[in-house]
Structure formats: structure tokens, C-alpha cells
Amino acid sequence: MTAPAEPSPAGVPLASARGRWILLTTVLGSSMALLDSTVVNVALPRIGRDLGADLAVLQWTVNAYLLTLAGLILVGGALGDRFGRRRVFVLGVVWFAVGSLLCGIAPNAGVLVAARALQGIGGALLTPGSLALIQGSIRAEDRARAVGLWSGLGGVGAAVGPFLGGWLVDGPGWRWVFLLNVPLAAVCVPVALRHVPESRDPQAHGRFDVAGAVLGAASLALVTYALIEARSAAAPVVAAAVGGVLLGAAFIWWERRRAEPMMPPAIFRSRQFTAVNLVTLCVYAALGGFFFLVVLQLQVVSGYSALAAGAAMLPTTALMLLLSARSGELGERIGPRIPLTVGPVVCAAGALLMLRVGPDASYAGDVLPAMAVMGLGLVALVAPLTATVLASVDPGRAGLASGINNAAARAAGLLAVAALPLLAGMGPESYRSATQFDAAFGRAMLWCAGTFVAGAVVAWATVRSPAPGACHPECQTHCAVAAPPLEPPREAGGRPMTGEGS
């Protein structure tokens, strides 16, 4: 059997045929995970009606996936660093497809939620690998544009999901929103095996931090359960809340004392990395709550079909397709501070414009302006945020950095979907009543806007843009304000080894 091809020391040019195949593979894989989350949101009202489910079950349909994804994504990144990022990425794509198939044939809500949790495991394997393949294979001078294209095209997959999901829900049925992933995986896997070079971290060794993964996932699970079931105020809810907080503290304690932790505290010595992850928590919490509720509002209150509700998201798709790559290049020129401040503020304006969307809402006058403004905010935000995460740590830890940032984003969305209905005063049957849901939706959008603004404030106060030329011309990773390298150089002479980054 032929050994996996390794990237050349200089990396693969993005404009080459192989560079385009690498980009296609990473976009296909990450789009499966992103597409699935947005497609499922559109299908929620029909799932609830067909399975006789209340709002809590709909929340778990979203959160079972996010829970295993957020809890295990760091393990997925570590597995890729050790055993080969392409290998683990392909395994994740196959696992995700199997989980999707089980969702598509689920006979009841319990099986559906369990299958969604299995999907999340696959997502935890493939998601960090998608960026890892770009950073480990594409040459340094093309990475910013590659990340911009990946962000834009991946964002298109996420944004087109509601339209595609609506068409499937109104046509062959909601089960096809899950079965859709099977043919995508059938294309992605052979392309990855044929065209994508393998890369790994030769320094990765030792035992995996299984205890850390269990503590982190269990903490998220208990806190999520407490938030979703908080309306009952029963003893199990209180116990879950207390247990979740205690396990979270135990996770931090364990990571600090373990020799090779899943989330090494040393990586947060980079002030830039810490700052961008704080912004990520705020922004993705607001985004998770926003997209979870908007498609419900359009169907429950405004009377849109699933297809019409999905089509309402298309302006976001078009804007990200047209502008995300340029946004990544602009962020590289001017630094991340301004994009990461302006982007969330524009998104907050989009959330506030959704307050105009009620019964008999006009698409052109009410929905379109809100979604267009939200799209502009995402264009300004997503590519610079992703590139800054990768650029703020040593290349040998870029896979870990990507995993931590993805975990932060998914955990933020998980907690937002669990907490926002509670904060907005939504009852278990609210989504069956247009009047009740509309009133609660308005309160929820105010929470989303406030969280976006909090992200902008954090970005302005903590994120710093490096001076032009401050980064090493070959690795392009350390800005003038970043912490010292977290690891010693990989080779004599101080040059990082290639094929390690994400």
C-alpha cells in the first residue's frame, strides 16, 4: 500500500489543481456539519408535529448534536494530530453519514435525539480536520485567502441549508434533511483519499486525556439539561445545575494538573488567542439563538412554509459567497480588531431588525433587510476571526487552537439554544401558539443583539492588530503582541516544521 503523500516544505499553491481539490474537500466536509445544523432548524416545527414533541424535545434535537460535538471536538483534533489529519477527517465524514442515516430512519423522538448525538461525534472528528488540512497543506502565502474561501463557501453551505431544508420538508419530508448527508459523504471521502496530502504532528505522544473529555462533556450535558428543564424547578434540575458547575470546575482543575491535558492552559498565554475565543463565545451564542428561533418565527408566526422560511435566508448566502474571501484578505491587511468589532455590531442591528417580523410580515420590507444586514455582519466577522485564531499560536498547535475555538463556538450555541427560550419566557407549547411565540421572540432578539454587542466590546478592548511586517514571513503566526512560542522550535535554526498546522 502506498504511503500517504506529505505536503512539500513550501506547501501546495491554492491556484494549483491539487490546491483546489484540498479546498473542495475541506468545504464539503465542513459543510456537512454546518449544513446539517441549519437544515434541521427549518425542519423543527414539522418534526415536533409528526413526533408529538414539545419545545424541550426540539431543543434536544439541536443540542444533542452540539453537546457531543462541543465535548469531543478537542479529542478529534488531538486524534488528527497524532494519527493523521486526513485519516481522522475521513473517519469523521463516514461516522457523520452513518449518524445521519440513523436520524433519517428514527421511529420516535428518543431515537432521533440519540442519533443526533452520534452525528455530533462524527462532527467532532471532521470539523477540526477541515481547517487542519488547509493549514497543514496550503503554502503560507495562500492560507489567508484559502481560509477566506473556506469560510465563505462553508458559510454558503450553512446559509443555503434552510432553503434546501425547507424544500425537502415541504416535499419528500423532514427525514430527507438527514439523508442528504449520505451522498455528500460519498463524494467527499474518495476526493480526500485521492487528492489531499496527509499531515500530522510528529511531537504528539502520550495518553489521550479521556478524563478531561468526560468531565467537559458531562459538565455541558448537565448544565444544558438544567437550562432546558428549568421551568419545572424540580430537585433533579437543581442537582443537574450544581453538578454541571462542579464538574466544570473539576475539568479546569484536572487540565491544570495533567502533564498532557486535552486543553493545555499554556495555550492561553497568547493574549490574542484568549481574546478571540472570548469574542467567539459571545458571537456564536447570539448566532445559535438567532438562527434557532428565526425559522420558527417565520413559520409559526408569519405563516411561511418551510420552503419560504428557508428561502428567506438566501441574502446571507449570497453576501457570504461574494464577499468572504475579500473579507479574509482585508482582515490580513488591517488586522482583526476592526472587523471583529464592526462585524458583531452589524449583526446586532440585523437581530434588532427582526423585531419587525411578525404576523403577515412582508419579505421585502421586513425580512430581507434584517437578513441582509445579518449577512454583512457575518461577512465582516467570520473569515478574520478564523484566520486570527490560527495565526495567534505556534504552527504546531494550530490543530489544537482550531479545536478549542470550534469547541467554544459549539458550546456557546449549545448553551444559547438551551437558555434563550428560558430567558425569553417560552413555555413548552409556545411554538404551537403564534401569539405566545411572537411575544417571546421579540424578547429573545433583544438578548441576541445584546450578546452581539458584548462580543464587539470584548473585541475592541482585547483584540490587537499587529503592525505590518510584525509576523514572520514564512510562518505568519506570531504578531507583536502574542505571547512567546508555546513550544521550542521543531528544527535546528528555529524554523517550524511543516505539515503540522491546522
Give the pTM: 0.78
Backbone CA torsion sign across 467, 473, 476, 478 = negative
Q: First CA to last CA across the chain, in angstroms?
A: 26
Listed as ranges, residues in the chain with pLDDT below 70 are 1-10, 15, 37, 152, 154-159, 201-206, 232-233, 396, 398-399, 466-502
Picking from 13, 21, 329, the residue whose alpha carbon sits closest to that of residue 148 is 329
Q: Give the Cα separation of 346 and 199 in Å (integer).
A: 38
| DSSP string covering 322-391 | HHHHHHHHHHHHH-SHHHHHHHHHHHHHHHHHGGG--TT--IIIIIHHHHHHHHHHHHHHHHHHHHHHHH
Contact 38, 161 (CB under 8 A): yes
Q: In the chain, what's the furthest Cα-to-Cα distance?
A: 68
**100 grid coordinates:** 445521519
The tens digit of pLDDT for each residue in 301-334 reads 999 998 888 888 888 877 877 887 778 778 778 8
The identity of residue 469, as a single letter, is: G
Q: Give the Cα separation of 279 and 305 in Å (integer).
A: 34
Contact 428, 231 (CB under 8 A): yes
Chain centre distance of CA 194: 27
Give the three-class secondary structure for 12: strand
Specify burial of residue 364 (Cβ count, 10 A radius: 0-12, 13-18, 19+).
Answer: exposed
Picking from 275, 383, 385, 393, the residue whose alpha carbon sits closest to that of residue 329 is 383
Chain centre distance of CA 502: 15
Looking at residue 346, its pLDDT comes to: 96
Chain centre distance of CA 141: 25
Q: For residue 122, which phi and psi values (nearest 5 degrees)? A: -60, -40
Looking at residue 447, its pLDDT comes to: 96
Query: What percentage of the chain has pLDDT greater than the value 70?
Result: 86
Backbone CA torsion sign across 423, 427, 428, 432 = negative
Q: What is the DSSP letter of 138?
A: B
Residues 6+ apart with CB under 8 A from 249: none
Give the C-alpha distances (Å, rounded to integers) separating 215 from 62, 247, 344: 21, 6, 31
Residues 6+ apart with CB under 8 A from 329: 144, 145, 148
Looking at residue 99, its pLDDT comes to: 94
**168 grid coordinates:** 425537502
Contact 26, 130 (CB under 8 A): yes
**316 grid coordinates:** 446571507
Contact 29, 129 (CB under 8 A): yes
Contact 123, 65 (CB under 8 A): yes
Looking at residue 456, its pLDDT comes to: 94
